[in-house]
């Protein structure tokens, strides 16, 4: 009767009881009723139940069902810290306590389904009333969005008008480094920022990086030479890791069921400087005061607003909340210095080699081949080091790569972004070459046709993903539609502008939908949500590297085909029209440069022959671009195959939250709790 009374009165918290029974079971015996009775007095409130449960957890018992069923290695139990708490099942409110949920490598590798995801801190239903309408929440959301907007703008806006910038403060043959340095900075900084903010806390990482981005934008705005401008761009790029981490920064503070919408919120901030970058940058050129420098002054304003919002509103868990029993010095000693060196050296050298090939140096030159080979070798060495070296805190937890669903999400994200970057480079060139005749003032707007619909697909896909459900089917349908439509662009000739625009807009919209959902997917599939930072950071670095490879392939195919298709189209047309064979090379050179002055000195050139040559030149260029659109089928086909292995995550759309933001005045109390 005593036992029945206790249970009927709900005196014993069910989770605390489960912890105790599991604890004694691990000792090879069953819990007697007398033992349980001794514990009951310690568990008269939900809070005390949690305290008892945490102490048992320190002794080796993990209360999570999916973890408790797997054997815990002896090596991991010695370093165990308290698990992140969740609200009681009866709905009563519990103070949020921030912990690092450490799980052994073997346990993480043993996970096989997305239903076994842990590392949550709270349930949104148990948070204080008005939390999601508070200034600290929305101030943080604005800070993250503004930061991402600035990071996108500092790359996209100058890249759209490099020729004009070089004419103003150059000329300098190194002007291309304004774009190169941005790609390198993102690829390196995202994983480093993500990993070590996972460990040491995010607040000061983001504040310091945002402050340095502010400095970099001022340096760029006041540049008087190309090296000066490259220096400012380098500062912004190297410290943009936090800014480009917008997806997990947002997703860890919103409930799981709103993560897709959260990612779309962040992308909305980037649209003016991503999709509309050519139009915005060219509009700045018309300003009588400042001109192109407004690309950087605008970023300065955004960086300042973001920095202020981060400082005032953004208060995620601190180091002490994450690690109650270890010091910063202990973790600093465990930093993976060798891994950092191998990764940074490998990714930088590899991307540089790809960037140089076919442009600054020929593909067959040692200056191109050597960095590609050395960079790849360094990345292989990095993988071996991370997998086999006896390091406590590797830069990249290798168990992530044993998770098929996360790997598939990462590859879907990376190959999808390859379509975006490739068309962002190739389409503006196609506009100038094929569709600008009679529409010179529309070049900037037409060039946006690759970026704006892609962003629209990302945003709409994120907002509708949960409502549509069946993420695997969404990825398969969107990538299939995108592949077919972009491949069909190979049927559009120089006189089919409307057809090309229709296929392009619908195709990149579909591909944008895929990236909109997979950008969130790589964070959802992380088994231990306390590692969401490094998981999304590595996916972001992979996105940069793989999209660089594919963009290089697209540009190389275009360059090589132009060298063949244009002469093959122009030469027979003009010689049949009466142009001397000796005048053909000069005509080809003049048509390629677009110089009317060069045309005047070509012997035998008449208005009729020039008209024929211009039409043949456009047709030859169209044939070259058709080859590029064929290559997009290879990328799209890869996406379609990967989509077949994408997970469905409908069952994970819950109220669970990884991180809760606190008030500044609560910090000391929470650190000592």
Contact 200, 328 (CB under 8 A): yes
pLDDT of residue 125: 86
pLDDT digits (tens, 9 = 90+) for 140-149: 999 999 999 9
pLDDT of residue 79: 37
* Mean pLDDT (the chain, rounded): 81
Lowest mean pLDDT among 106-120, 255-269, 400-414: 106-120
Q: Count CB-CB contacts under 10 A for residue 507.
A: 28
pLDDT of residue 88: 43
pLDDT of residue 416: 92
pLDDT digits (tens, 9 = 90+) for 437-466: 766 777 878 888 988 999 999 999 999 999
Q: What is the mean pLDDT of residues 50-66?
A: 35
φ, ψ of residue 229 to 5 degrees: the values are: -65, -40
Lowest mean pLDDT among 44-58, 223-237, 269-283: 44-58
Please, which pLDDT band fits residue 32 given cuts at 50, 70 and 90?
very low
Lowest mean pLDDT among 80-89, 615-624, 663-672: 80-89
pLDDT of residue 439: 67
pLDDT digits (tens, 9 = 90+) for 590-613: 888 777 777 877 888 888 988 999
Q: What is the mean pLDDT of residues 263-275?
A: 91
Lowest mean pLDDT among 84-98, 123-137, 321-335: 84-98
Q: Where are the domains of the chain?
A: 2-87+94-125, 134-326
pLDDT of residue 438: 66
What is the rounded distance in angstroms from the CA atom of residue 629 to the CA atom of residue 426?
A: 10
Contact 154, 189 (CB under 8 A): no
Give SS3 for 363.
coil
Please, which pLDDT band fits residue 673 given cuts at 50, 70 and 90?
low
Here the tokens at position 5 are 């009374």
Q: Over 50: is that where the pLDDT of 82 sits? A: no
Q: Over 60: is that where the pLDDT of 113 sits? A: no
% pLDDT > 70, the chain: 82
pLDDT of residue 422: 86
Helix H or strand E encompassing 657: strand 656-657
pLDDT digits (tens, 9 = 90+) for 460-502: 999 999 999 899 999 999 999 999 999 999 999 888 999 999 9
What is the rounded distance in angstroms from the CA atom of residue 479 to the CA atom of residue 120?
A: 32
Nearest partner of 413 among 287, 513, 285, 549, judged by Cα? 513
Could you tell me which residue, 433 or 115, shows the higher pLDDT?
Answer: 433
pLDDT of residue 12: 38
Q: Over 80: is that where the pLDDT of 16 sits? A: no
Q: Over 90: is that where the pLDDT of 426 sits? A: no
Q: Count CB-CB contacts under 10 A for residue 36.
A: 17
Please, which pLDDT band fits residue 73 given cuts at 50, 70 and 90?
very low
What is the rounded distance in angstroms from the CA atom of residue 480 to the CA atom of residue 639?
A: 8
* Bridge partners, 357 (sequence order): 361
Q: What is the mean pLDDT of residues 14-41?
A: 41
Give SS3 for 646.
coil
pLDDT of residue 502: 95
Buried-exposed string 413-433: b where 16+ CB fall within 10 A, e elsewhere: bbbbbbbbbbbbbbbbbbbbb
CATH fold, domain 134-326, is Growth Hormone; Chain: A; (1.20.1250)
pLDDT of residue 105: 43
Helices (H), 470-606: 471-488, 497-524, 532-576, 584-593, 596-600
Please, which pLDDT band fits residue 224 given cuts at 50, 70 and 90?
very high
Lowest mean pLDDT among 49-63, 147-161, 390-404, 507-521: 49-63
pLDDT of residue 203: 94
Q: Over 80: is that where the pLDDT of 20 sits? A: no
Lowest mean pLDDT among 38-47, 115-124, 393-402, 659-668: 38-47
Q: How far is CA 316 from CA 83, 204, 307, in A?
A: 17, 10, 15
Q: What is the mean pLDDT of residues 529-542?
A: 91
Please, which pLDDT band fits residue 47 given cuts at 50, 70 and 90?
very low
pLDDT of residue 340: 95
Torsion region of 632: left, alpha or beta (phi above 0 gives left; psi -120 to 50 gives alpha): alpha
Beta-carbon contacts of 661 under 8 Å, excluding residues fewer than 6 positions away, are 136, 137, 140, 253, 313, 314, 315, 316
Q: What is the mean pLDDT of residues 284-306?
A: 90
Q: What is the mean pLDDT of residues 300-329?
A: 92
Q: What is the mean pLDDT of residues 76-91?
A: 39
Here the tokens at position 9 are 């009165």
Give SS3 for 280.
helix
pLDDT of residue 8: 40
């Amino acid at each position: 009767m005593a036992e029945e009374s206790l249970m009927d009165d709900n005196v014993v918290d069910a989770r605390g009881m489960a912890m105790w029974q599991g604890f004694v079971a691990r000792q090879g015996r069953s819990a007697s009723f007398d033992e349980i009775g001794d514990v009951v007095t310690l568990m008269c409130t939900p809070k005390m139940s949690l305290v008892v449960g945490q102490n048992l957890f320190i002794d080796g018992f993990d209360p999570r069902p999916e973890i408790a069923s797997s054997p815990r290695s002896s090596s991991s139990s010695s370093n165990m810290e308290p698990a992140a708490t969740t609200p009681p099942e009866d709905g009563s409110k519990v103070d949020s306590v921030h912990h690092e949920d450490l799980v052994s490598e073997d346990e993480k590798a043993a996970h096989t389904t997305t239903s076994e995801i842990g590392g949550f801190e709270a349930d949104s239903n148990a948070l204080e009333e008005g939390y999601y309408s508070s200034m600290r929440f929305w101030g943080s959301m604005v800070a993250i969005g503004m930061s991402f907007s600035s990071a996108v703008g500092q790359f996209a806006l100058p890249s759209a008008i490099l020729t004009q910038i070089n004419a103003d403060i150059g000329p300098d043959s190194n002007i291309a480094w304004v774009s190169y340095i941005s790609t390198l900075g993102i690829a390196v900084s995202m994983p480093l920022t993500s990993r070590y903010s996972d460990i040491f806390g995010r607040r000061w990482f983001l504040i310091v990086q945002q402050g340095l981005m502010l400095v970099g934008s001022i340096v760029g705005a006041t540049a008087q030479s190309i090296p000066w401008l490259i220096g400012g761009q380098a500062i912004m790029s190297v410290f943009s890791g936090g800014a480009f981490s917008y997806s997990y920064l947002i997703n860890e503070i919103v409930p799981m069921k709103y993560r897709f919408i959260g990612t779309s919120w962040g992308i909305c901030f980037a649209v003016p400087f991503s999709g509309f970058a050519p139009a915005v940058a060219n509009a700045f050129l018309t300003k009588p005061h400042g001109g192109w420098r407004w690309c950087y002054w605008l970023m300065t304003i955004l960086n300042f607003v973001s920095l202020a919002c981060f400082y005032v509103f953004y208060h995620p868990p601190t180091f002490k909340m994450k690690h109650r029993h270890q010091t910063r010095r202990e973790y600093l000693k465990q930093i993976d210095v060798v891994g950092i060196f191998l990764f940074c050296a490998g990714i930088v050298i590899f991307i540089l080699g790809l960037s140089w090939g076919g442009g600054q140096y020929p593909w067959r030159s040692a200056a191109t081949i050597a960095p590609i080979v050395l960079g790849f070798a360094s990345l292989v060495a990095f993988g071996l080091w991370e997998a086999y070296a006896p390091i406590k805190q590797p830069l990249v937890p290798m168990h992530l790569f044993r998770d098929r669903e996360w790997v598939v999400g990462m590859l879907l994200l990376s190959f999808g972004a390859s379509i975006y970057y490739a068309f962002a480079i190739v389409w503006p060139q196609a506009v100038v070459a094929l569709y600008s005749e009679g529409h010179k003032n529309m070049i900037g707007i037409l060039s946006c046709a690759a970026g704006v619909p892609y962003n629209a697909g990302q945003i709409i896909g994120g907002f509708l993903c949960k409502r549509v459900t069946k993420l695997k089917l969404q990825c398969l349908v969107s990538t299939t539609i995108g592949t077919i439509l972009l491949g069909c662009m190979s049927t559009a000739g120089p006189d089919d502008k409307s057809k090309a625009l229709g296929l392009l807009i619908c195709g990149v919209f579909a591909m944008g939908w895929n990236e909109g959902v997979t950008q969130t997917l790589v964070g959802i599939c992380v088994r231990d949500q306390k590692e969401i930072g490094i998981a999304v950071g590595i996916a972001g670095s992979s996105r940069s590297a793989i999209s660089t490879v594919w963009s290089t392939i697209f540009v190389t195919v275009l360059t090589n085909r132009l060298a063949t298709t244009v002469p093959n189209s122009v030469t027979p047309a003009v010689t049949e029209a009466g142009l001397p064979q000796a005048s053909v090379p000069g005509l080809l050179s003049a048509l390629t440069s677009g110089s009317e002055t060069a045309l005047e000195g070509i012997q035998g050139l008449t208005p009729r022959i020039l008209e024929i040559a211009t039409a043949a030149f456009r047709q030859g260029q169209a044939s070259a671009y058709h080859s590029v659109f064929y290559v997009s089928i290879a990328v799209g086909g890869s996406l379609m195959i990967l989509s077949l292995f994408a997970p469905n995550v409908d069952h994970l759309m819950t109220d669970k939250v990884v991180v809760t933001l606190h008030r500044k005045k609560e910090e000391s109390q929470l650190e000592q709790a």
